[in-house]
Amino acid sequence: MGVIENLLAVIVVLGLLITFHEFGHFWVARRCGVKVLRFSVGFGKPLWSRFDRHGTEFAVAAIPLGGYVKMLDEREGPVAPEEQAHAFNRKSVWARIAIVSAGPLANFLLAFVAYWALFIYGTATVAPVIGDVTPDSPAAQGGLQRGQEIVAVQGEPTPSWGEVNLKLVAAIGADGTLDVTTRTSEGATPTQHRVPVNDWLVRQNPPQPLASLGVTPWRPELPAVLGEVLDDGRAHQAGLQRGDRIVSVDGVAVDDWMAFVERVRANPETPLTLQVTRDGERREITLTPAVREQEDGSTIGYIGAGVQPSEWPERYRREIRYGPLDAVGEAVAKTGEMSLLTLDSIRKMLVGLISPSNLSGPVTIARIAGDSARDGVESFISFLAYLSISLGVLNLLPIPVLDGGHLVYYIIEAVRGRPVPEAVQAFGLRVGIALVGSLMLMALYFDLMRL
**Is the pLDDT assigned to residue 253 strictly greater than 50?**
yes
Evaluate the CA torsion angle 124, 168, 108, 65 in order and state its sign: negative
Amino acid 334 reads K
Whether residues 334 and 429 share a domain: the answer is yes
Predicted confidence band at 34 (pLDDT cuts at 50, 70, 90)? very high
Q: Check residue 113 and give its pLDDT.
A: 97
What CATH number has the domain bearing residue 299? Answer: 2.30.42.10
Whether residues 446 and 342 share a domain: the answer is yes
Assess if residue 25 is contained within a domain: no
Q: Check residue 296 and give its pLDDT.
A: 64
Whether residues 118 and 138 share a domain: the answer is no
**pTM for the model:** 0.82
Assess if residue 33 is contained within a domain: no
DSSP string, 334-345: HHHHHHHHHHHH
Whether residues 433 and 447 share a domain: the answer is yes
Whether residues 198 and 279 share a domain: the answer is no
Q: Check residue 76 and give its pLDDT.
A: 86
Whether residues 141 and 169 share a domain: the answer is yes
Whether residues 282 and 147 share a domain: the answer is no
Whether residues 325 and 450 share a domain: the answer is yes
Q: Check residue 363 and give its pLDDT.
A: 66
Whether residues 440 and 354 share a domain: the answer is yes
Assess if residue 332 is contained within a domain: yes
Whether residues 302 and 347 share a domain: the answer is no
Ranges 111-120, 181-190, 223-232, 350-359: which has the least confidence: 350-359
Which of 320, 344, 366 marks a domain boundary?
A: 320
Q: Check residue 396 and give its pLDDT.
A: 95
Give the integer Cα–Cα distance in Å for 264 and 292.
11
Nearest to 154 by CA among 311, 393, 337: 337
Predicted confidence band at 450 (pLDDT cuts at 50, 70, 90)? low
C-alpha distances out from residue 374 to 5, 112, 277, 378, Å = 9, 23, 31, 10
Q: Check residue 13 and give its pLDDT.
A: 83
Assess if residue 3 is contained within a domain: no
CB-based burial, 384-404: b 16+ in 10 Å, e otherwise = bbbbbbbbbbbbbbebbbbbb
Domain span at 149: 123-219+311-320
Which of 261, 285, 320 marks a domain boundary?
A: 320
Assess if residue 15 is contained within a domain: no
Whether residues 274 and 392 share a domain: the answer is no
Give the integer Cα–Cα distance in Å for 345 and 105.
20
**Is the pLDDT assigned to residue 294 strictly greater than 80?**
no
Mean pLDDT of the chain: 90
Burial of 15 (0-12, 13-18, 19+ CB in 10 A): middle
Average pLDDT of 421-448? 86
Average pLDDT of 346-361? 81
Predicted confidence band at 1 (pLDDT cuts at 50, 70, 90)? very low
**Is the pLDDT assigned to residue 451 strictly greater than 70?**
no
Assess if residue 243 is contained within a domain: yes
Average pLDDT of 223-252? 93
DSSP string, 145-162: -TT-EEEEETTEE-SSHH
Assess if residue 387 is contained within a domain: yes
Whether residues 365 and 347 share a domain: the answer is yes
Nearest to 117 by CA among 125, 107, 109: 109
Ranges 241-250, 422-431, 441-450: which has the least confidence: 441-450
Bridge-based pairing of strands 245-249 and 156-157 is unpaired
> Could you give the residue numbers annotated as active site?
22
Give the integer Cα–Cα distance in Å for 186 and 4.
44
Q: How many domains is the chain partitioned into structurally?
A: 3
Average pLDDT of 177-202? 91
Which of 307, 335, 356 marks a domain boundary?
A: 307
Assess if residue 26 is contained within a domain: no
Give the integer Cα–Cα distance in Å for 172 and 360.
18
Q: Check residue 221 and give its pLDDT.
A: 85
Ranges 7-16, 174-183, 255-264: which has the least confidence: 7-16
